[in-house]
Chain A
Amino acid sequence: MQATSYALTLPVMVPLMLAVVIYAVGQRSWQLRNGLSVAAALSSFLLVVQHYRTIMADVTLVAEFPELLPPLGVSFRMDHLGFLVAAVVSFVWLLVTIYSTVYMVKEHAKNRYYPFSVLTLAGAMGVILSGDLFTFFLFFEMMSLSAYVLVIHEETAEAMRAGYRYLMLIPAHTKRFLWRRSCPYCAGAN
């Protein structure tokens, strides 16, 4: 059974917006910055888990936005597997964020680390909850690009080299996804 639930976008949208807020407050207060980062992961987790009963009642949740980015449109979808993976990922992200508030104390550029970590979470949740390959591609690109900043956090020559290789692979990978996506499109959709 399928049911429409626009709350499905919240685990993605809340961290996405909080990332901007975290970047803005990061300059002024580190307590607020760390607190909001944890809150972003926590809220993402809770916003996923709230669907527990619905999912267990064998209901697949969908949210479709055909008007957004025509002609393909954006859609979200959560079934058993999506629920499980989303819950696990956001929970692990919550633990990692709590851990990093202590671990990162001695690191540099923390004001960069936290917003991009939360942005990557938003991308990851988008990938998991995407309802079609095009949405998948959108969030995959968002996740990979923001993860780049985490990859090169050290800013040593090695990290930069690895990061550059990673960055050049993103378009290659994502374009392959888009490619796979368009093949059924040209075969059937039109």
Chain B
Amino acid sequence: MPEFMHAPVLIVAVLLLAAFITPLLGKRQAATNAVFLGAGVVALVLSVGMTLRVLAQGTLSYPVGGWPAPYGIVVLVDVFAAYSSLVLATVALIIFWFAAFGPREVRHNGAYFTLILLLTAAMQGMVMAGDLFNLFVFIEISSLAAIAIIAIKGTKESVEASFRYLVLSALGSGGLLFSIALIFMITGHLNMDYIRTTLMVTAEQYPLNLLTSIGLMVVGFGVKAALFPMHVWLPDAHSNAPTASSALLSGLVVKVYIIALMRIAYLALGLEIFALFPIRHLFLALSTGALVAGSVFAMVQDNVKRLLAFSTVAQVGCIFLGFGLFNQRAIEGGVLHILNHAVMKSLLFLTAGVIIHQSGIKKLSQFSGLGRKMPLTFAAFTIGAMSMVGVPGTAGFISKLYLALGALDADMLVFAVLILISSLLNAAYYFPIIISAFFGRDSDAEATDPAFAVLAPVAVLAGMVFFFGMFPSLMVPLVRQTALLFVR
């Protein structure tokens, strides 16, 4: 079946092409929006087609330009890559929609859309890469684009935050490059399949090189994915960016690095070698720290976007916890949480942006009574917050349930308790916001719900929170097969 055979490269190509067209359109707003959203829609269609193909026919290995490995670059789309690509395409399209019709926060939409499209193209390329150097190129593109979409707001804080992100992210990239160089030294290959087969023979001869390489890799991806305690750049960066950037960064970008790391773990290193090093224990320890510290830091924030950013630190911990526990249910939970957190955190960031734009209020202490003035916006915020806490019927509940069942399957009761504690902590900082907004004393702030066009993408995300909360079975075949890649 030849359908969607070229989808893996077409997704990246379409997004890249659109990225170069948007600045050429200058001030023609309608045309810019059309190209921007059109690229998102095409990427989504290709991604859906590719996912169906992978589900029907198994892993799709695509040699770029017809050059076979090890000479050419291979794009390798397995179920995990297809799932990630689908999540990226869906959530990114909704954020594109908001960026095009939501409140304007940047002066040149053309340039802004270029950066967003570059970032999305790089993320799509990253989750499908079958070659370490190709992966590294996409990591660099996405890092630079991510830094630029923070700084584009032009305020002092955002430039400072993006500079800090630049420095730490460059350190991470340096670590990754060094780690890839060490792997190349041991195996002589950059193609992940070839690395795995060669490592089986050569790993024993170079244990120290391999250890250094894996250490650098975990730290490099850890910095970029904001794994506690390497998260220090995240709160400033995510809270000072324009709204659409915050949603994109918190919802998708941090997770792409987790996906890339885990793909390297089973594709390039192989599970046997991955299991030789105490990476899982590291994940367990650090995600425990993230879940507790992220929530505790979030509790003391007064700026709504900073609170959401710290909550991301905790939720990234949740995803790592799934991979740390490393059994069927836990990995299903972690992988589902990639989708669920992307949906709910984008929802929360977009509503927070709408609230800030409509009322001019950033501080939670001034939210009192605001919910009665803008009921629809705060209803959407409530839905996102309930999902974060893990109220049944919402998406967040499903992934936390799977993670808790995974912890029980692994006979590690302490992590099931940890998940319960973390949802209690989430309740402790999300519920007071909602209570004061809906039932608090009226403040003299003037605010109303925005126009329908602004709220439509938010409403779609809120619907998705309920949809994936009620019918997770839609994603289950993909998620189950993904988990089987790790626990065969």
Measured CB to CB, the residues of A under 8 A from B are 67-72, 137-138, 141-142, 145, 152, 155, 160, 163-164, 167-168, 170-172, 175, 178-179, 182, 185-186, 190
Q: How many A-B residue pairs have CB under 8 A?
A: 63
CA distance A70 to B401 in the complex (A): 10
Contacts of B432 in A (CB 8 A): 164
Flag if A175 contacts B435 (CB, 8 Å): no
B388-409 interface bits toward A, Cβ cutoff 8 Å, 1 = contact, 0 = none: 0101110000100110110011
CA distance A172 to B408 in the complex (A): 19
* Most A C-beta atoms less than 10 A away, residue of B389, B398, B420, B471: B420
- Interface check B205, CB cutoff 8 A: no
Contacts of A137 in B (CB 8 A): 392
Tell me what chain A mostly uses at the interface: helix, strand, loop, or mixed: helix
- 22 pairs across A/B with beta carbons < 8 Å? A67-B473, A68-B470, A69-B398, A69-B470, A70-B472, A70-B473, A71-B329, A71-B402, A142-B392, A152-B435, A155-B439, A160-B439, A164-B431, A167-B431, A168-B424, A168-B427, A168-B428, A171-B424, A171-B427, A175-B424, A178-B420, A182-B405
Q: Which of B454-481 contact A (CB under 8 A)?
A: 470-473, 476
Flag if B404 contacts A178 (CB, 8 Å): yes
Flag if B404 contacts A164 (CB, 8 Å): no
* Most A C-beta atoms less than 10 A away, residue of B386, B435, B439, B471: B439
Tell me what chain B mostly uses at the interface: helix, strand, loop, or mixed: helix
Contacts of A67 in B (CB 8 A): 473
CA distance A186 to B329 in the complex (A): 12
CA distance A190 to B470 in the complex (A): 23
A167 with B427: in contact, given A142-B392, A160-B439, A185-B408 (CB under 8 Å)? Answer: yes
Flag if B409 contacts A179 (CB, 8 Å): no
- From A142, A155, A179, give the contact of B420 (CB < 8 A): A179
Contacts of B168 in A (CB 8 A): none
CA distance A152 to B438 in the complex (A): 11
- Interface check B295, CB cutoff 8 A: no
Q: How far is the CB of A168 from chain B (nearest CB, A)?
A: 7
- Interface check B423, CB cutoff 8 A: yes
A186 with B435: in contact, given A69-B470, A171-B424 (CB under 8 Å)? Answer: no
Flag if B472 contacts A69 (CB, 8 Å): yes
Q: How far is the CB of B367 from chain A (nearest CB, A)?
A: 15
- Interface check B416, CB cutoff 8 A: yes
Flag if B408 contacts A171 (CB, 8 Å): no
A182 with B391: in contact, given A70-B473, A171-B427, A175-B424 (CB under 8 Å)? Answer: no
CA distance A175 to B473 in the complex (A): 23
- From B329, B393, B404, give the contact of A142 (CB < 8 A): B393
Flag if A171 contacts B423 (CB, 8 Å): yes
CA distance A128 to B439 in the complex (A): 30
Flag if B408 contacts A182 (CB, 8 Å): yes
CA distance A152 to B434 in the complex (A): 13
Q: Closest 6 A-B residue pairs measured CB to CB?
A: A186-B408, A138-B392, A175-B420, A171-B427, A171-B424, A141-B392
Flag if A182 contacts B398 (CB, 8 Å): no
Contacts of B473 in A (CB 8 A): 67-68, 70
CA distance A21 to B473 in the complex (A): 28
Known: A142-B393, A175-B423. 9 other contacts (CB 8 A): A70-B472, A72-B401, A160-B435, A164-B431, A164-B435, A167-B435, A182-B405, A185-B405, A186-B411
A138 with B393: in contact, given A71-B405, A155-B439, A171-B423 (CB under 8 Å)? Answer: yes
Q: How far is the CB of A160 from chain B (nearest CB, A)?
A: 7
Contacts of B435 in A (CB 8 A): 152, 160, 163-164, 167
Q: Which of B196-211 contact A (CB under 8 A)?
A: none
Contacts of A70 in B (CB 8 A): 472-473, 476
Q: Which of B403-445 contact A (CB under 8 A)?
A: 404-405, 408-409, 411, 416, 420, 423-424, 427-428, 431-432, 435, 439
* Most A C-beta atoms less than 10 A away, residue of B392, B420, B424, B471: B392
B302-327 interface bits toward A, Cβ cutoff 8 Å, 1 = contact, 0 = none: 00000000000000000000000000
CA distance A171 to B439 in the complex (A): 20
Contacts of B428 in A (CB 8 A): 168
Contacts of B408 in A (CB 8 A): 182, 185-186
Contacts of B409 in A (CB 8 A): 186, 190
A182 with B416: in contact, given A142-B392, A164-B432, A190-B409 (CB under 8 Å)? Answer: yes
CA distance A69 to B402 in the complex (A): 11
Flag if A152 contacts B389 (CB, 8 Å): no
CA distance A15 to B424 in the complex (A): 29
Contacts of B329 in A (CB 8 A): 71
Contacts of B401 in A (CB 8 A): 72
* Complex: chain B residue closest to A138, CB-CB: B392
A145 with B391: in contact, given A155-B439, A160-B435, A160-B439 (CB under 8 Å)? Answer: yes
CA distance A182 to B471 in the complex (A): 21
Contacts of A155 in B (CB 8 A): 439
* Complex: chain B residue closest to A187, CB-CB: B408
Contacts of B416 in A (CB 8 A): 179, 182
CA distance A138 to B408 in the complex (A): 20
Flag if A141 contacts B391 (CB, 8 Å): yes
Q: How far is the CB of B364 from chain A (nearest CB, A)?
A: 15
CA distance A182 to B416 in the complex (A): 10
CA distance A160 to B437 in the complex (A): 13
Contacts of A164 in B (CB 8 A): 431-432, 435
